Amino acid sequence: MKYWWWKVLAIATFSYVLLAGLLTPLKSGIYSVDKTKGLLGSTLSLHVETYNTYMSSALQNVAFLKLSDNKVIRSTSINEINDYTAKINFELPSELSTGKNAERATLIINNEVDGSMILPNAILLKQDTTLIKQNGAKWTALDVASLFPNKGFRFPYRNKLHETIRNTFFHVAIWFAMFILLIIALVYSIRYLISKDLQFDYKAAAFTNISIYFGIIGLITGAIWAKFTWGAFWTADVKLNMAAISVLIYAAYWMLRSSIRDVDSKARIAASYNIFAFVVMIPLIFIIPRLTDSLHPGNGGNPALGGEDLDNSLRLIFYPSIIALTLIGLWIANLTYRLQIIHDKTLEE
Amino acid sequence: MVRNYLISSILVFLPWLVKADSLDFFRSTGKMYSVVAVVLVLFIILAIYLIKLDKRITQVEQNKKHES
């Protein structure tokens, strides 16, 4: 137990990830709006449901419909029904004056308690050609300085994702940890082939073993996340299928090891297969999904690990989570390896 | 036996524990359950690995006993 500190680090970091990752609230957001269209020149009355807000205790609720920074309509009135629902009235100007017939406007609600909530492309504003009323409502510029800022440490609110954004700390981090452990396994496999020292083979086997478990966790957690955001546990998506294939390729490593009796040829074949499996995994997971369309973030023009999907507040939990899960994997691989050594010794005696 | 009993009792009581007060914003959209499920899956699969490791250690221990 000379080098025990990293085990304590693993437990402490993962406890931090669980506590901070599950207890930090989301930012306020707009959950639903009852209308998607508005006729220009008329009054638009919206029934809005918000998430994680205190609208009835806020005194300075204000809403905007925004086309661009210079084209904004301020709400005429807001009736807060409770903390999470409100009726908002807009007096729409009679013309878009952009040359277009219709344009999507972003809905913004702001108050001093919750800060700003934004629903992009919420309302389609349409020109009414039959009747052009002049109601005096005009586009104004958005005075950003008058908006109340968001307060406190909070995770971003994303439509459709909602609370599931916390799965980033587990689903994404376990794939990262798996990848790090597989690199370690690859290094040990190469070292075995160079030195023919059996302890490197045992280490490579231990790391590959726990990596496959991590991969299975990644697939199942991904399926659960997909069910809550895409509506299905599994779709015929490239990223999903390729990830499943690469886990299966590694699962074949298990069968390969258990099917060969002779220790030396087992170690040699397993080490070569491990190198093959790693080399195959890289195009399967990192290259092919990027070449085509995919629902999964990080592929085919679908950026990940940036923007609002992984902002700095999420990074504060996400990176420690990768470290914690990698250390837990190291720990378990270490136990498996030590057991294998003892197993060998008992057979020799 | 004891382990099976424990697991099934946790599974029976889980919905009751979770539904205690389900009207707060945290669970209002139902998506918090996905995070709970993801953390549970992570833990259960790691636990399966540990149970397998446990069995292998028992095997090695018994091998040693037979020899001595």
Each residue's pLDDT, cut to its tens digit, for chain A (349 residues) gives 567 889 999 999 999 999 999 988 888 889 989 988 888 888 899 999 988 888 888 888 899 999 888 889 899 999 988 888 999 999 888 888 777 888 899 999 999 888 889 998 889 988 876 666 666 778 888 888 888 888 888 998 888 888 899 999 999 999 999 999 999 999 999 999 999 999 999 999 999 999 999 999 999 999 999 999 988 999 988 899 999 999 999 999 989 999 999 989 999 999 999 999 999 999 998 888 888 888 888 776 666 666 667 888 899 999 999 999 999 999 999 999 999 998 888 877 6
* Residue-range definition of the domain harbouring residue A72: 29-146
* Same structural domain, A60 and A104: yes
- Pairing status of strand A102-111 against strand A85-91: unpaired
* Same structural domain, A212 and A94: no
Average pLDDT over residues B54-62: 88
Q: Does B60 touch chain A (CB under 8 A)?
A: yes
Q: Does A232 touch chain B (CB under 8 A)?
A: no
Comparing B7 with A231, the larger pLDDT belongs to A231
Residue A22 lies in a domain: no
Residue of B nearest to A221 (CA): B38
Q: Does A348 touch chain B (CB under 8 A)?
A: no
Residue A4 lies in a domain: no
Residue A105 lies in a domain: yes
* Same structural domain, A90 and A135: yes
* Same structural domain, A243 and A122: no
* Same structural domain, A123 and A218: no
* Residue-range definition of the domain harbouring residue B49: 2-67
Of A52, A161, A220, the CB nearest to B41: A220
* Same structural domain, A198 and A127: no
* Same structural domain, A188 and A316: yes
pLDDT at B20: 47
Interface predicted TM-score (ipTM) of this complex, two decimals: 0.81
Question: Tens of pLDDT along A241-271?
Answer: 999 999 999 999 989 999 999 989 999 999 9
- With beta carbons under 8 A apart, name residues in chain B contacting A84: 25, 28
Residue A190 lies in a domain: yes
Cβ separation B42–A164 shorter than 8 A: no
Of A146, A171, A199, which one is at a domain's C-terminal end?
Answer: A146
Q: What confidence tier does B21 reach under pLDDT thresholds 50, 70, 90?
A: very low
Question: Tens of pLDDT along A86-122?
Answer: 999 998 888 887 778 888 999 999 998 888 899 988 8
Of B25, B41, B64, the CB nearest to A221: B41
* Same structural domain, A86 and A181: no
* Same structural domain, A263 and A297: yes
Q: What are phi and psi of A63, to 5 degrees?
A: -125, 155
Q: Domain of A141: which CATH number? A: 2.60.40.10
Number of compact structural domains in chain B:
1
* Same structural domain, A92 and A59: yes
pLDDT at A56: 86
Number of compact structural domains in chain A:
2
* Same structural domain, A187 and A281: yes
* Same structural domain, A104 and A174: no
Residue A8 lies in a domain: no
